[in-house]
Amino acid sequence: MANEEIAINVHSIENNEEIIGQLMDHYGDDILHLVFSYVKNRTIAEDLTQEIFIKCYEKLDQFHNKSSIKTWLYRIAINHCKDYLRSWHYRKIKFSDKVGDYLPSKSKHIEEELISKNIASSLTSAVMDLPEKYREVVFLHYYEELSLANISKITGINSNTLKTRLKHARELLKIQMKKEV
């Protein structure tokens, strides 16, 4: 579901609000999904996504086109998520947000819908249960459809290390999905 890269010259647009508006419109959902893959809570992910765009607004003058705007934005988002996960708030206060709508739609057969939701739910759950270093690369590679070279730029992690992590993540997912069957 990766969006095409947008070209924004931060130095040609006078109004930072206009730039952030464009970034939010184009990358808002992608950043929200990325953040959710870290915090596993929709409400917290929405709050953190807002904080990320505020941080981008405040640091827009620090973007010097050394990387793509998407890489810069993802880097800020990943670092913000990691800071949150290390924070006292996250470590000491537990949130319970188990909201799920499993009512089958009338457009499919109930059995097919339940089986499909169960498989998707199992896979999503297995991915979300991966350790952060594996979950990160799986999300960016498969959901965001980023190349390992781009993931390396975003995370600052060597491409060979990312390949290894992706391989281990696949192995862990295979084991977990076999347990589900």
State the CATH number of the domain containing residue 143: 1.10.10.10
Residues 77 and 119 in one domain: no
DSSP state of 4: P
CA dist 128 and 141 (Å) reads 14
Token pair recorded at residue 67: 């990387």
Confidence of residue 57 (pLDDT cuts 50, 70, 90): confident
Q: What pTM was estimated for this model as a whole?
A: 0.60
Digit-coded pLDDT (tens) for 59-73: 888 887 778 888 899
At residue 141, the 3 state secondary structure works out as helix
Number of domains forming the structure of the chain:
2
Question: Is the pLDDT score of 55 beyond 60?
Answer: yes
Question: Is the pLDDT score of 95 beyond 50?
Answer: no
CA dist 1 and 14 (Å) reads 31
Residues 109 and 161 in one domain: yes
Of 75, 95, 115, the residue at which a domain comes to its end is 95
Q: Kindly give the residue spans of alpha helices, DSSP state H, lying in the chain.
A: 16-39, 42-59, 69-86, 88-92, 110-129, 132-138, 148-155, 159-180
Digit-coded pLDDT (tens) for 111-151: 555 445 555 566 777 788 888 888 888 888 888 888 899 88
CA dist 103 and 86 (Å) reads 36
Average pLDDT of the chain, as a whole number: 77
Residues 86 and 128 in one domain: no
